A and B are shown apart, each in its own frame.
Chain A
Amino acid sequence: MKFVLAVLLAAIATAGALSSLPTSAQESPTVTDEQIAHIKNACPAIIATLSQIHANDAPVYVNRNQAYFSISDKLIARLNGRLAVNRFDTSTFVRISNEYAAALTQFRAAYKRYDDSMSDLVRMNCVRQPVGFYDKVAETRELRAGVQQSIKKLHGKIDEYRSAVGTFQEQNESRLKGVTND
């Protein structure tokens, strides 16, 4: 028992030591003295630009989040339900809907991470911490790219659902033509 505990503690300590190893050489590109001087000089203008980007992003996110949810709630879920009531096989549609919902959750989480980072960035004192500010810009850019990736994934699911509807229509052509009201 003591041995197991000792091994566990050693593993935790090793993991902790490895995670705390400096990785700045790989993560943050070298900032030249000229760049540092420029960041210090143009700090208010850079912060103003970032604040404007941050403010402009907010309604885009609110509108997108609302639209993506409505696509799921007011279109996809309704067709799925209607097909199920009419006793069609909806397994493909349900799978895509679930993946779409997961992608939407991922989009919200990615935006939250980006927004938190952007909020920290616009509050930073780039005159006092120009290197930290430069690194934070790089980190926030990566997080913004993550938001864009999550949007691409959502659009992929939107396309997949559209294709599934087309395939469904082809596969059930005769039944869709000769349908009687339920």
Chain B
Amino acid sequence: MTEDATAVTEHKKHWFQARIVLFVGSSIVIALVLVSVSMALYASSGAAQLDLSRPGFQAVQSQVERSSTFKSFPASGKVDNETIEQFKALYEEQVKQVTANDAFNPSVLDEHTLGIGAPAATE
């Protein structure tokens, strides 16, 4: 009787330990899967390109402009000549900030700019 009780207790103990191991293991696996999914989404959605907290980008974080400085056009109200003129003025003001200068010119990656171009032929 005592041996049986001891065996049952031992069995319960082992079963409890196995459940803990299973619980911890499955928690780790689930966490790994979720982290992998979120990292894949982070990389594929384009969020990574907007994230300047990435290593190597902290120094340029201050160059990001605040979106609150952008003036909005009122979404409601009458439409007359004055309204259109107001829109045109606002549009020009906001648009010239992005159209004024050339961005992403490929010449900065030119082989001569980087100093890896073929040397000029000498005669």
Report A's interface with B, CB cutoff 8 A.
32, 34-35, 38-39, 42, 45-46, 49-51, 53-68, 70-71, 74-75, 78-79, 81-83, 85-86, 88, 108-109, 111-112, 114-115, 134, 137-138, 140-142, 144-145, 147-148, 151, 155, 158, 161-162, 165-166, 168-169, 173, 176-177, 179-182
Give Cα A147 to B79, complex, Å: 37
Report B's interface with A, CB cutoff 8 A.
46, 48-50, 52, 56-57, 59-61, 63-65, 67, 70-81, 83-84, 87-88, 90-92, 94-95, 97-99, 102-106, 108-111, 114-119
Give Cα A137 to B70, complex, Å: 36
A35-B117, A134-B116 known; A61+B49 contact, CB < 8 A = yes
Give Cα A166 to B64, complex, Å: 33
Q: List 6 A-B contacts (CB under 8 A).
A: A55-B57, A59-B61, A74-B72, A166-B88, A169-B84, A176-B80
Give Cα A145 to B49, complex, Å: 18
- Please tell me if the beta carbons of A57 and B109 are within 8 angstroms of each other in the complex: no
Contact of B49 among A56, A58, A74 (CB under 8 A): A58
